[in-house]
Chain A
Amino acid sequence: MKKDCTQLDDLLFDGSPLAMETAARHAEECDACAETLAAWNDLTATAQTMRAGWENDLLWPRIERALRAEQAAMPPRRDWRRSILRTAAALLLTAGLGGTAYYAVRVQNHDAAFDRDILRLSALDEVERAEQVHVTAIRKLEALAEPRLEQAESPLLVSYKEKLMLLDDAIAECQANIDHNRQNAHLREQLLSMYSEKQQTLRDVLREDTHGTNQ
């Protein structure tokens, strides 16, 4: 093979008219490359005649019928951009209506909560006023019982005195807790129970004293 034979593949790969002309010039002087080039060109020439073509006047009507049948079977096609815009608008509207409804409910809830709070505070004030009356009554009893308790000599009076001191400590602690949470009904009940116990104990002190004096 001649020196240029090694370049034949490059020329065939290039395939441009100039490259093929160069290959043809080389093939004139080289039998091996001439055979290769002849086969190469023969392939191309044969392929160029293989473009198929035939007339069939029925093909387009057949395709048209198939298209119409498919269109009839398919749901109406929508423009996706328009669909997106519609969806976005629907979402916006839903969000707007939802927001408005939420705001309305929230305001309503807020009003209801406000009403409930007012009622609760009003009830609380009532409870506290009743407690205050209770405490005032207890203090009157306490004032009456105090001299007797200070001079307590009988074991029963000493026991009452200790009990009242324990109740006072418990009442102070409960009151401190109520100051942190005025609406805690459980603590209020406990406090009421303690005040009632204290009231009863003070009455017992006064009764005991009267009973002792009468004896």
Chain B
Amino acid sequence: MTGMLHVPTASPSTVDDQRLANACASGDTRAFEELYRRFGDRMKSIAWNHLGNTSDAEDAVQETFLKIHRAATTFTGEASFATWAYRILVNTCYDVLRKRRRRIEEAPFDDALEHSAGAVDDLKRLALRKLLDGLAEQRRTVSTLFEIEGLSHAEIAAILGISEGNSKWILFATKKELQEKWKRSQ
């Protein structure tokens, strides 16, 4: 969108992905450790940016690993293993958010942002966080994955099961909406 630097996504080869999936399916703990080492940080960040606190985010990551263990035999290799794992993670986050909405309580934000790099002040981050929280699930996920995590529209499309063009359009429409609110809030 703005020429932001996209963090390259770890994209192991198809063979490597299938090897990892097979190892996960057989319950090989070393495969899960490799998965955690390669994608754990991003998984935690995606979860945090959906759930807003480290405790829920870590729970979501753990639940995602269990789901990967249960479903690894169904991995077809159509998307990369990372994309497949992120899809499971995002859906897990949605489940947590829905349960949270049913409980009608907000989980408090914690200080995970203090570890973020950059010079933009905390007030701006807090303002954007609130704006993102007010978005519908899909809009929030597209914005989070593209703007915060630096995933490409192709990867986002694969994670959410939508077209690449749709991902691009959702991001544009969301940013237009946020931009107006952003201007008013600054």
Q: Give the interface of A toward B (CB within 8 A).
A: 9, 12-13, 15-17, 20-21, 35-36, 39-54, 56, 59-60, 62-64, 66-68, 70-71, 77, 79-80
Once the chains are docked, how many angstroms separate the CA of A42 from the CA of B175?
11
Asked if B29 lies at the interface with its beta carbon under 8 angstroms from chain A, I say yes
Using a CB-CB cutoff of 8 Å, which residues 25-78 of chain B contact chain A?
25-27, 29, 32-33, 36, 40-41, 44-45, 48-49, 54, 57-58, 61-62, 65-66, 69-70, 73
Sample of 9 A–B contacts (CB below 8 Å): A36-B183, A44-B4, A47-B143, A49-B116, A51-B45, A51-B150, A54-B112, A60-B40, A66-B62
Q: List B contacts of A70 (CB < 8 A).
A: 66, 69-70
Once the chains are docked, how many angstroms separate the CA of A108 from the CA of B176?
85
Residue of A nearest to B146 (CB): A47
Q: List A contacts of B2 (CB < 8 A).
A: 15, 20, 40-41, 44-45
Q: Give the interface of B toward A (CB within 8 A).
A: 1-5, 7, 25-27, 29, 32-33, 36, 40-41, 44-45, 48-49, 54, 57-58, 61-62, 65-66, 69-70, 73, 112-113, 115-120, 124-125, 127-129, 143, 147-150, 168-169, 172, 175-176, 178-179, 182-183, 186
Cβ–Cβ contact B113 & A50, under 8 A: yes
Residue of B nearest to A76 (CB): B27
Q: Chain A's nearest CB lies how many Å from the CB of B140?
A: 12
Cβ–Cβ contact A51 & B149, under 8 A: yes
Once the chains are docked, how many angstroms separate the CA of A81 from the CA of B120?
53
Cβ–Cβ contact A59 & B147, under 8 A: no
> Top 5 closest A-B pairs, CB basis?
A49-B118, A47-B147, A15-B1, A52-B48, A52-B112
Q: List A contacts of B143 (CB < 8 A).
A: 47
* Contact A12-B172, Cβ < 8 Å, known A50-B129, A56-B58, A60-B33: yes
Once the chains are docked, how many angstroms separate the CA of A62 from the CA of B62?
8
Q: List A contacts of B44 (CB < 8 A).
A: 52-54, 59
Cβ–Cβ contact B186 & A47, under 8 A: no
Cβ–Cβ contact B175 & A12, under 8 A: yes
Once the chains are docked, how many angstroms separate the CA of A213 from the CA of B4?
142
Q: Which of A45, A49, A59, A60 has the most CB of B within 10 A?
A: A49
Q: List A contacts of B69 (CB < 8 A).
A: 67, 70-71
Cβ–Cβ contact B147 & A43, under 8 A: yes
Cβ–Cβ contact B115 & A54, under 8 A: yes
Q: Chain A's nearest CB lies how many Å from the CB of B16?
A: 19
Which residue of A21, A44, A64 contacts B1 across the interface (Cβ within 8 Å)? A44
Cβ–Cβ contact A67 & B175, under 8 A: no
Q: List B contacts of A59 (CB < 8 A).
A: 40, 44, 58, 61-62
Once the chains are docked, how many angstroms separate the CA of A108 from the CA of B182?
90
Cβ–Cβ contact B115 & A67, under 8 A: no
Cβ–Cβ contact A46 & B124, under 8 A: yes
Q: List B contacts of A62 (CB < 8 A).
A: 58, 62
Once the chains are docked, how many angstroms separate the CA of A60 from the CA of B66?
12
